[in-house]
A and B are shown apart, each in its own frame.
Chain A
């Protein structure tokens, strides 16, 4: 089966591009930050420098691992779903479920190995650049030199491989076993995340305005709340669709499609909610914090600077990953609908009307995702701003929010419409023909 996996990767490299990209990005980020452990471990590094380096490596390393897992899992799930016909054919030709599982896991491992190998030079350069930033800001002593060693290399390959294999295993299991209801566990986790998030956000009020830790409970609370909302995404979408609907045949069709496909769209909505909440909350709080420090005329401590660097890095990583996931999921979801678009056109829809249906759907998704993401972000921002600067809604939130929302909208609408345009080039009669 492994030979088959190798051959399938070699014959159709294009299909694995999204997985390769996620593995590459993930490995690059993990290696970049884990190589800070190597740097900190060099002889003659003072304790302050080494602590800064190890803390950054620890925090971002953890985030990175999770993100690699989610990104690879989302791209692989899409990949496996698109190939359900091929997998079915193999099953009919006598492949056991275990063999299929090993084939898909094998492919994922091959692709992620390639991704990790490509990431090594990128991570070397990235690590050097990161150290430069730390040295320039005075967080790390000038004398410290960059090292790229065993820890960076091993953790990079290890995390990427483990995440890919695990994600592939789950993806193929989900497809071969068919859809199962796991509503109970999911809704329990959603409520747990919402309750923990609310508690975390409220605990901000127990801290004083100058507390070093002030940002932590608010930020984590906002993230937890967004995770909780993201897990309820299909329910939220259905709730919104019960409200007033946009007019015209395209709007009518879009709303009906969204209502039926709410479950499938959960992944896209989840990415959007997380993206909006995490980036809005983190960037706004950081801006409020920086302005408050500047206003008080104090010089930032090394810890405060570390936190700032970390905040920006984490947001950067999340933005990149969520964009990859969003683009991949939307592209796949739209390509998958070639038959449906053909049917709409045969029923009398002009290409423009089909594009309007897709555009309306993307718009509704964007609005719902950004709306609930913003709610979660505000839940974290407001307590933080009240305690830190005695204001309810800091002015910084508007600029940040506008940037975040327009990025989310541009990615969602852009990918959906560009893909739909491409799909519409297939003549309608051929689009509905059963796959030859």
Chain B
């Protein structure tokens, strides 16, 4: 998998380009009933940027995120995260790579019900066999506003609080890239704003790169730029987006694709 042969021991430091996709194609199903989810997507994201990926249902945005994050394998094309190519390799190798460089935030939080807030947060460190610094964990959880809930279990928290634990868990390994799949999809507007603020801080304050899939124009307006996806292809880009501009663009996404732009 790791063709450049980089290991965490002699990590050359963050690459200038956090994510690079070249002609990535992915289809699902068997030959006669095959659905093309990604159709030759090429894109590059610089380090320290906050990018939203938008598109209607079935446009392939979740597939894009999963292929980019090494959770799914593209049929063809190249995926490079933090300068390292992800193609090939066993699941174990991919997992080891992911837990060193990538953090995840999901719509359904995906916290382990049997663990407390603090235990959930340090889980990636423990799995990677890294040292657990209790003080730092407390700091991170305090930063997301959960410093007083270390011993709670996920089922004792609200949706917004759970998502903040998930963000703390994604930040604790100090990953290069954080992938967020509809992080505000199950939240009320206030919790959503808190979550988006935290993601934005991760970029502005800590220099992480965040890629967020969403279908909510308001959420997308928090990003530095928005990439539009339709029928598995890139369909434009909007920098310094506002919610209205994003919604406007989204409403006419079908026209652009059929016009062949």
Binding site for B on A (CB under 8 A): 248-249, 252-253, 256-257, 259-261, 340, 342-353, 427-429, 432, 434
Contact present for A257 and B95 (CB under 8 Å):
no
A156 to B66, CA, bound (A): 56
Query: Which residues of A lie under 8 Å from residue B124 when comparing CB positions?
Result: 347-348
Query: Which residues of B lie under 8 Å from residue A429 when comparing CB positions?
Result: 66, 71-72
Contact present for A260 and B114 (CB under 8 Å):
yes
A429 to B113, CA, bound (A): 17
Contact present for B123 and A432 (CB under 8 Å):
no
Query: Which residues of A lie under 8 Å from residue B115 when comparing CB positions?
Result: 253, 256
Contact present for A347 and B110 (CB under 8 Å):
yes
A257 to B124, CA, bound (A): 16
> Apart from A249-B129, A340-B113, A349-B95, what are 18 other A-B pairs with CB-CB below 8 Å?
A259-B114, A261-B114, A340-B112, A342-B110, A344-B123, A345-B95, A346-B110, A347-B110, A347-B112, A347-B123, A348-B95, A348-B99, A348-B128, A349-B127, A428-B71, A429-B66, A429-B71, A434-B108
Query: Which residues of A lie under 8 Å from residue B204 when comparing CB positions?
Result: none
Query: Which residues of B lie under 8 Å from residue A260 when comparing CB positions?
Result: 113-114
Q: Digit string of B97-120 for contact with A (CB within 8 Å is 1, else 0)? A: 011000010101011111100011
Contact present for B110 and A343 (CB under 8 Å):
yes
A347 to B98, CA, bound (A): 9
Query: Which residues of A lie under 8 Å from residue B169 when comparing CB positions?
Result: 347
Contact present for A348 and B123 (CB under 8 Å):
yes
Say if the beta carbon of B244 comes within 8 Å of chain A: no
Q: How far is the CB of B15 from chain A (nearest CB, A)?
A: 21
A248 to B71, CA, bound (A): 25
Say if the beta carbon of B126 comes within 8 Å of chain A: yes
Nearest B residue (CB) for A339: B110
Residue of B72, B129, B173 near A427 (CB, 8 A) is B72
Say if the beta carbon of B91 comes within 8 Å of chain A: yes
Contact present for B98 and A348 (CB under 8 Å):
yes
Known: A428-B71, A432-B108. A348 touches B91 (CB 8 A): no
Query: Which residues of B lie under 8 Å from residue A351 when comparing CB positions?
Result: 91-92, 95
How many interface residues does chain B have, given as a range? 20 to 34
A249 to B125, CA, bound (A): 9
Say if the beta carbon of B96 comes within 8 Å of chain A: yes
A345 to B71, CA, bound (A): 10
Q: How far is the CB of A423 from chain B (nearest CB, A)?
A: 14
A252 to B173, CA, bound (A): 19
Contact present for B92 and A352 (CB under 8 Å):
yes
Contact present for B126 and A252 (CB under 8 Å):
yes
Query: Which residues of B lie under 8 Å from residue A345 when comparing CB positions?
Result: 95
Contact present for B92 and A343 (CB under 8 Å):
no
Contact present for B110 and A249 (CB under 8 Å):
no
Query: Which residues of A lie under 8 Å from residue B71 when comparing CB positions?
Result: 346, 427-429
Query: Which residues of B lie under 8 Å from residue A249 when comparing CB positions?
Result: 126-129
Q: How far is the CB of A238 from chain B (nearest CB, A)?
A: 14
Query: Which residues of B lie under 8 Å from residue A434 when comparing CB positions?
Result: 108
Nearest B residue (CB) for A249: B126
Contact present for B112 and A343 (CB under 8 Å):
yes
Residue of B99, B111, B119 near A343 (CB, 8 A) is B111
Contact present for B106 and A432 (CB under 8 Å):
yes
Query: Which residues of B lie under 8 Å from residue A248 when comparing CB positions?
Result: 129
A429 to B28, CA, bound (A): 15
Query: Which residues of A lie under 8 Å from residue B91 when comparing CB positions?
Result: 350-351
10 residue pairs from A and B, CB less than 8 Å apart: A248-B129, A249-B128, A340-B113, A340-B114, A347-B110, A347-B124, A348-B98, A351-B91, A428-B71, A432-B108
A133 to B112, CA, bound (A): 55
Contact present for B106 and A353 (CB under 8 Å):
no
Which of B66, B104, B123, B128: most chain A Cβ within 10 A? B123
Which of A260, A429, A434: most chain B Cβ within 10 A? A429
Q: How far is the CB of B171 from chain A (nearest CB, A)?
A: 13
Query: Which residues of B lie under 8 Å from residue A259 when comparing CB positions?
Result: 114
Query: Which residues of A lie under 8 Å from residue B128 when comparing CB positions?
Result: 249, 348
Q: How far is the CB of A314 from chain B (nearest CB, A)?
A: 38
Q: How far is the CB of B11 from chain A (nearest CB, A)?
A: 17
Known: A349-B127, A351-B91, A432-B106. A257 touches B114 (CB 8 A): yes
Query: Which residues of A lie under 8 Å from residue B99 when comparing CB positions?
Result: 348
A343 to B111, CA, bound (A): 7
Query: Which residues of A lie under 8 Å from residue B106 when comparing CB positions?
Result: 346, 432
A135 to B123, CA, bound (A): 65
Query: Which residues of A lie under 8 Å from residue B96 when comparing CB positions?
Result: 350
A434 to B126, CA, bound (A): 27
Nearest A residue (CB) for B173: A348
Q: How far is the CB of A247 from chain B (nearest CB, A)?
A: 11
Query: Which residues of B lie under 8 Å from residue A340 when comparing CB positions?
Result: 112-114
Query: Which residues of A lie under 8 Å from residue B120 when comparing CB positions?
Result: 347
Q: How far is the CB of A70 from chain B (nearest CB, A)?
A: 28
Query: Which residues of A lie under 8 Å from residue B114 when comparing CB positions?
Result: 256-257, 259-261, 340
Q: Which 8 A-B pairs have the closest CB atoms?
A: A348-B99, A260-B114, A249-B126, A348-B124, A350-B92, A350-B95, A343-B110, A348-B127
Query: Which residues of B lie under 8 Å from residue A261 when comparing CB positions?
Result: 114
Nearest B residue (CB) for A348: B99
Q: How far is the CB of B251 from chain A (nearest CB, A)?
A: 28
Residue of A353, A427, A428, A432 near B127 (CB, 8 A) is A353
Q: Digit string of B117-142 for contact with A (CB within 8 Å is 1, else 0)? A: 00110011011110000000000000
Nearest B residue (CB) for A252: B126
A427 to B111, CA, bound (A): 17
Nearest A residue (CB) for B103: A348
Q: Digit string of B56-100 for contact with A (CB within 8 Å is 1, else 0)? A: 000000000010000110000000000000000001100110110
Nearest B residue (CB) for A258: B114
Q: Digit string of B174-197 for contact with A (CB within 8 Å is 1, else 0)? A: 000000000000000000000000
Nearest A residue (CB) for B73: A427
Q: How far is the CB of A358 from chain B (nearest CB, A)?
A: 13
Q: How far is the CB of A265 from chain B (nearest CB, A)?
A: 12
A260 to B155, CA, bound (A): 13
Query: Which residues of A lie under 8 Å from residue B92 when comparing CB positions?
Result: 350-352
Q: How far is the CB of A316 from chain B (nearest CB, A)?
A: 38
